[in-house]
Amino acid sequence: MQHIDPEHHDGTSDATPGGELDKRRPGELAFAAFLLLASLGLLWSAFGIENPFGPNGLSSPRSIPVATTLAMAVAAAIVFLTTVRLPLDNAESFAKDILPGVVLLFVVFLVAYGLLLRPLGFLPTSALFLVASIKILAKRGWLWTLGVSLGSLLVIWLIFRIVFTVLMPAGIVPEAEFIQFFRGLSSGGAEQ
């Protein structure tokens, strides 16, 4: 197997499962432990679906959830035990190669988007998100960034709000009034 150079960052993926076959990537052991604990927690929860001392069988309400979570727990245990045996790959770092700052920034952006969606509405929140995201990721000029962001938002809004009539949080933009105004123009003017 060829060596994966963590410094390449040329836009291609270095997400070969597990990185190098004989090494553990930073954070991989903690993630495997989390999966095992979550699977065991779900298995415990599945056992509580019905009275553990009552009649049980293949047709009981908990049989499928127990079987599914048991399979999850066994698979997670195998992954965890396999991961524990591997030596740590010291050529990579968690902050640089696994969870870089731009990923954390976009987690903050997505949380902010979710929090601002109801008070500001779909259009201003999406405009802020798209402008900031495209500016950071594309590293282009403001005219290009605003053109792509607002053009994309207009296409998305037209498709979902006008064509499919999906209701989106209006917020601070009087969206319904705009739609009614354009409907009035297209129907030959406002009614008296």
Residues 128 and 159 in one domain: yes
Which of 97, 126, 149 terminates a domain? The answer is: 97
In angstroms, rounded to a whole number, what is the distance separating the alpha carbons of residues 125 and 109? 10
- The DSSP result for 55-70, as a single string, is ---TTSTTHHHHHHHH
In angstroms, rounded to a whole number, what is the distance separating the alpha carbons of residues 114 and 149? 18
Residues 57 and 116 in one domain: no
Residue 91 lies in a domain: yes
In angstroms, rounded to a whole number, what is the distance separating the alpha carbons of residues 132 and 125? 11
**Given this model, what pLDDT does residue 5 score?**
55
Q: What sign has the CA pseudo-torsion 4, 8, 12, 14?
A: positive
In angstroms, rounded to a whole number, what is the distance separating the alpha carbons of residues 161 and 163? 6
**Given this model, what pLDDT does residue 2 score?**
53
Domain containing 138 equals: 100-178
Residue 20 lies in a domain: no
pLDDT in tens, the chain (192 residues): 455 555 555 555 555 554 677 888 899 999 999 999 999 999 999 988 876 556 666 677 888 899 999 999 999 999 999 999 999 988 888 888 788 899 999 999 999 999 999 999 999 999 999 999 999 999 999 999 999 999 999 999 989 988 888 888 888 988 878 778 877 777 765 554
Residue among 54, 84, 47 at smallest CA distance from 69: 47
Q: Are 83 and 23 in contact (CB under 8 A)?
A: no
| The total number of structural domains that make up the chain | 2
Residues 85 and 104 in one domain: no
The amino acid at 27: G
**Given this model, what pLDDT does residue 124 score?**
96
